[in-house]
Structures are given as structure tokens and as C-alpha cells.
Amino acid sequence: MAHAQHTGLSNLQLELLKLYARNVSEADLKAIRYLIGLYFAEKATAAMDQFVEENKITPEQPAAWAYEHLDLARV
């Protein structure tokens, strides 16, 4: 981590630089981008699932939140 602080790059950026130092095909690059996106999407889903469970949120509540700003505009 000391190296990341010295360069101003995060540990993820440094790891990706190591990967990109290798010559990969466009197809591999596309697959890597997809996998990185999938990884973070799964983390976000797990965090949201945990939030929903901890706060006992019903399926109707997020749907109501989507239109809450319209109700505030009428006040």
C-alpha cells in the first residue's frame, strides 16, 4: 500500500496496470471489463440486500420513494 500512496494510484489501479502491461486481445479486454462491472454490481446488490433486511424494507417502499419527490412538489 505504501507504493500506492507514493504514486497516487490505488491498489486496484496498480493491479490493473500490471494486467494492461500485457498485450491482451480486444475480446479479452471486453470480457475483463464485463467481469469487473459484474463484480461491483454483485457487491452493490449484496449491500442493498443487507440494507433492506436490516431496515425491514418492504418491496412497496422503494417504489413509493421513486415518486416521493412528486408529492413534495405539491406541498
**What pLDDT score does 4 carry?**
46
Confidence of residue 49 (pLDDT cuts 50, 70, 90): very high
Q: Answer yes or no: pTM beyond 0.95.
A: no
As a whole number of Å, the CA-based R_g of the chain is 20
Residue pair 62/49 in contact by the 8 Å Cβ criterion: no
d(C-alpha 2, C-alpha 8), whole Å: 10
d(C-alpha 26, C-alpha 22), whole Å: 12
> Which residue would you say has higher pLDDT here, 2 or 31?
31
d(C-alpha 13, C-alpha 70), whole Å: 41
Mean pLDDT of 13-33: 88
